[in-house]
Amino acid sequence: MITGLWLPIVTPFKDGAVDFKSYERLIEHYLALGIDGLFPLGTTGESPTLDEAESDELVERTVATVAGRVPVFVGVGSNATAKVEKALRRLERHAFDGIVSVCPYYNRPSQDGLVAHFRAIAAATDRDVLIYNIPYRTAVNLANDSLLELAEVKNIVGVKDSSGSIAQSLELLARKPADFSVLTGEDALYFTMMANGAEGGILAASHVMTERFIEVGRRFAKDDVAGARAAWAPLAPLVPLLFAEANPMPIKHLLWRQGLIASPECRLPLTRISDGLARRLDSFFAERRAA
């Protein structure tokens, strides 16, 4: 079972290049805090802007730095099935545990096309596959019926659920097999989804106030709903701030302000957050320190 709090880690850049020193420092920082899994090469990691050599080195460095302390699932997705299969062959020499593969974007396949796509990906690897359903980015929604059909495939082990529909998400939790993991990708719904039986979350927001996100999961594991609610309370106003402008720009600003990365730099077409949002974020954390 894929459970707990997983970090879709950012990719730090400095002067246009991947900042591997900051990247490895981030991994050590979040492992020390107690995250349950690591997800490099997601969209929070700006994977569309990385070339193959950079992606390969990030995977290699992730596996070497983690050194088996938590599972590593690598983002491997495309809107062309053959490209995913090719990427899997290219990366197979690295000892990561599984992949996170997004629904094909832009070309808007039918449900039978989505099912065939993920069946082909699962057949192309002996590693675990976590499907990523995020219709508001891909323009296609993997219906629960299709997802539950795919859950019957041995190495399709779960979903990062960012369906954008609380009704769809709750129905999925009610219908899913016991050995199929639902991890929410909707940061603002982490408490709600955990309260309704989700196995965990893959949350960009957990780059910040990580201990609080971990505590929410620990409280639910003890059936302490009141304690989970108390742990969640200071996170509720944070999450909208982190997504007020394009992810991961606000997160990188805060990581830079904490000295965890050398620069808040993103790659075009992403830039930096506005001065106004920077002031709001800095003020939010200044108030926390003063409290």
Residue with tokens 């730095």, as numbered in its chain? 65
3-state secondary structure 153-187: CCCEEEEEECCCCHHHHHHHHHHCCCCCEEEECCH
How many angstroms separate the CA atoms of 207 and 205, rounded? 5
Give the per-residue pLDDT at 291.
62
Query: H-helix or E-strand containing 212?
Result: helix 210-221
Residue 255 domain-assigned (yes or no):
no
- Report pTM: 0.96
Domain count, the chain: 1
Domain residues for 102? 4-237
Angle between helices 111-123 and 81-91 (to 10 degrees): 20
Residue 279 domain-assigned (yes or no):
no
Q: List active site positions.
A: 132, 160
Give the per-residue pLDDT at 35.
98
Contact yes or no for 184/163 (Cβ under 8 A): no
* Parts of the chain with a pLDDT under 50: none
Residue 258 domain-assigned (yes or no):
no
Find all residues with CB under 8 Å of 214, minimum gap 6, and list them.
5, 33, 34, 35, 206
Contact yes or no for 24/61 (Cβ under 8 A): yes
Residue 7 burial by CB count (10 A; 0-12/13-18/19+): exposed, middle or buried? buried
CATH number of the domain enclosing 180: 3.20.20.70
